[in-house]
Amino acid sequence: MDKNKKQRSWAEPYKIKMVEPVRISTFEERKKAIEAAGYNTFLLRSRDVYIDLLTDSGTSAMSDRQWAGMMMGDEAYAGSENFYHLERKVRRFYGYKYIVPTHQGRAAEHIISQIMIKKGDYIPGNMYFTTTKLHQELAGGTFVDVVIDEAHDPDNEHPFKANVDLDKLETLIIEKGADRIPYVSIATSVNMAGGQPISMENLKQVRELTQNYGIPIIHDMTRVAENAFFIKQREKGYGDKPVREIVSEICCLTDGATMSAKKDALVNIGGFLALNDKELFKKACNMVVIYEGLHTYGGLAGRDMEAMAIGITESVDEDHIKARVGQVEYLGKKLIDMGIPIVLPIGSHGVFLNASKILSHLSQDKLPAQTLAAELYLDAGIRAMERGVVSAGRNPETGEHNYPALELVRLTIPRRVYTQAHLDVVAESVEAVYENREAITGLEFTYEPEHLRFFQSRFQKIE
Ligand code: PM9
């Protein structure tokens, strides 16, 4: 490339056809709202939020083609045309043989955990995810983190922080025995590490190792296209490969997958379980009728499956994925320039603020990430998500808090929803909170539910 060539700007590969007005609230209104929500951003009403970066889950803007597809919903109880369209897309883009639709990702996690895990089993994975780990535990298993150590260090700039530490994995297999490991759980673009990718090279090594022991790999493919984009950018030999081919190569190295289509696949609701093994598929079909619905709709309307089928194609479009990850990078770079500590490298679906560093005067017991998320809301009505000690929950055996090395606040970017100007407002708000950080006191629990406590817990300020 010509080094003297000026760097040119890029813009999103879409134009806006419909708008949803948002309201800018006053500080007094926000103070009332966050108190009423018990300082938990999950308990805020959406109408009280100006820029909603709680999650990229189900919050994306669907395309005109997806909306048109919604009108083609075949709402038959059994054998809807939209199911067969979805099945064709899963086979074509991901290569899995059998698909069971589910209403969202955790329903697929529930089914796979119940059909594969026995009491006393161990499930190694490249870092935990809240719902995935809970379903493994509810099925009688124990999750074991085998991600590389770099993943737990927010400042480490390893390009593939979701890689598996092969020594950790093999030691576990030898110690516990392959028969007590029903599968290895591999996530692409690991959420809790900050949206970090696994490399193709590492995935191939995991494949080889697990095949030697006869252990299958179940893939959490929620953000597989984002992971593939990072492989294209960072891994030798992949620079000229289309993202859709990289996605397919990843999936081919695994035996089955759980999908929350609310992320990569650009729908507001939906997911699936995909499998290559016919016997497991039969068991999954038997389970889905108990919890979700018939195996050709799994809790979804025909129109939802149609939007998902179309969203799968759009998710691997080169221009789309470049702009999607590019928006996150734009915000991340702005925050780095402002001197704000964030997880490095910048993630695929959001920028993760390092709350331990920003609120370094608060111990983890004072819930720095939960506190920071509440302060961000107070400053400018921006809603973010805690990803620290509150999300990590308690050890089921000891009842003690799990203290994760990463105490983070996630500024998650919904796909195709916000403009660069929104992201400028977000960056300025983070900077304002950062400048006032010394005055911030922590939070303590006033209510804590048993499972996935981050969703519904309530807190009060420590004065
Ligand atoms: N992720 C997120 O905001 C939704 C709420 S937090 C539980 O990041 C992965 C990697 C996810 C995920 C949800 C699920 C569960 C599985 N794996 O929310 O049930 O990021 O569709 O998917 C959220 P569902």
Please report the DSSP string for 64-82 in residue order. Answer: HHHHHHHTT----SSS-HH
Pocket test for ligand 1, best of 54, 131, 352 (most atoms within 8 A of CB): 131
| pTM to 2 decimal places | 0.96
Does the Cβ of 220 fall within 6 Å of ligand 1? Answer: yes
User: Which string of DSSP letters, residue by residue, matches 151-220?
Assistant: GG-TT---TTTT-B-HHHHHHHHHHH-GGG---EEEESSBTTTTSBPPPHHHHHHHHHHHHHHT--EEEE
Q: Are strands 350-354 and 408-412 parallel, antiparallel or unpaired?
A: antiparallel
Residue type for 361, please? H
Per DSSP, 398 falls in state T
Residue with CA closest to ligand 1 atom 14: 105
Active site residue 77: yes
Instruction: For residue 447, give the H/E element and its range.
Output: strand 443-447
What strands, in cross-sheet order, belong to the sheet with 350-354?
Answer: 350-354, 408-412, 385-387
Relative to the CA of 187, which ligand 1 atom is closest? 10
* DSSP-based three-state secondary structure for 16: coil
Residue 415 · residue 61 · CB < 8 Å: yes
Q: Mean pLDDT per 10-residue run, the chain (463 residues)?
A: 77 96 96 98 98 98 98 98 98 98 98 98 97 97 98 98 98 98 98 97 98 98 98 98 98 98 98 98 98 98 98 98 98 98 98 98 97 98 98 94 96 97 98 97 97 97 92
Does the Cβ of 188 fall within 6 Å of ligand 1? Answer: no
Q: Dihedral of CA 319/192/224/100: which sign?
A: negative
Does the Cβ of 350 fall within 6 Å of ligand 1? Answer: no
Tokens coding 278: 């016919």
Domain 64-315 has CATH 3.40.50.10470: no
CATH 3.40.640.10 domain position(s) in the chain: 64-315
CATH architecture assignment, domain 27-56+318-461: Alpha-Beta Complex (3.90)
Active site residue 454: yes
Can you give the pLDDT at residue 5?
81
How remote is the CA of residue 431 from the centroid of ligand 1, in Å?
28
Give the bridge partners for 350, in sequence order.
412
Residue type for 331, please? L
In whole angstroms, give the CA distance from residue 178 to residue 127. Answer: 20
Residue 463 · residue 443 · CB < 8 Å: no
Relative to the CA of 107, which ligand 1 atom is closest? 19
Does the Cβ of 133 fall within 6 Å of ligand 1? Answer: no
Of the listed 263, 322, 383, 453, which one is catalytic? 263
Per DSSP, 91 falls in state I
CATH 3.90.1150.10 domain position(s) in the chain: 27-56+318-461
Can you give the pLDDT at residue 463?
85
Pocket test for ligand 1, best of 222, 391, 411 (most atoms within 8 A of CB): 222
Q: At what angle do helices 27-36 and 368-380 cross, to 10 degrees?
A: 140
Q: Which residues contact 54 (CB under 8 A, 6 or more apart)?
A: 41, 42, 383, 384, 385, 412
